[in-house]
């Protein structure tokens, strides 16, 4: 098999051009992956800030505080005639486990 040589009349080296083209395609693919990774990291960071670390408004904070206060209430009767008691879930779980252990 004869060695591939560039066309001496035009000075065009086909194998070199093809190899350079492949190298450029690989380089562009690597740059695209790099940019996509940077974009996805920035997007995840923005989501973290907006969803989990957002200060929220005063009305929302007040509603969350009211709900937390209800959850943290001590044991008391809601309706003694019906036998309904209000207590924190942790206390209820401890009582169920203690009752099951006896």
pLDDT tens readout for residues 70-101: 777 778 888 889 988 888 888 889 889 999 99
Domain with 29, as residue range(s), is 1-54
- Domain assignment of residue 44, yes or no: yes
Work out whether the CA dihedral 17, 20, 26, 30 comes out positive or negative.
negative
Q: Provide mean pLDDT across the span 46-71.
A: 79
How many structural domains is the chain composed of? 1
**Rounded Cα gap, residues 16 and 91, in angstroms:** 77
Run of H or E residues at 44: helix 14-47
Percentage of the chain beyond pLDDT 70 is 84
- 85 is a domain residue: no
Structural domain includes residue 90: no
SS3 54: coil
Q: Tell me, yes or no, whether 2 lies in a domain.
A: yes
Residue 96 lies in a domain: no
Residue 65 lies in a domain: no
Q: Looking at residues 52-70, what average pLDDT do you find?
A: 78
Confidence of residue 26 (pLDDT cuts 50, 70, 90): very high
């Amino acid at each position: 098999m004869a060695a591939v040589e560039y066309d001496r009349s035009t000075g065009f080296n086909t194998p070199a051009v093809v190899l350079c083209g492949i190298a450029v395609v690989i380089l562009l693919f690597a740059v695209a992956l790099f940019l996509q990774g940077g974009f996805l990291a920035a997007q995840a960071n923005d989501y973290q800030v907006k969803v989990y670390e957002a200060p929220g408004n005063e009305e929302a904070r007040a509603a969350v505080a009211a709900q937390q206060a209800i959850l943290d209430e001590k044991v008391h009767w809601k309706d003694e005639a019906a036998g309904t008691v209000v207590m924190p879930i942790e206390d209820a779980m401890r009582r169920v486990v203690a009752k099951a252990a006896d």
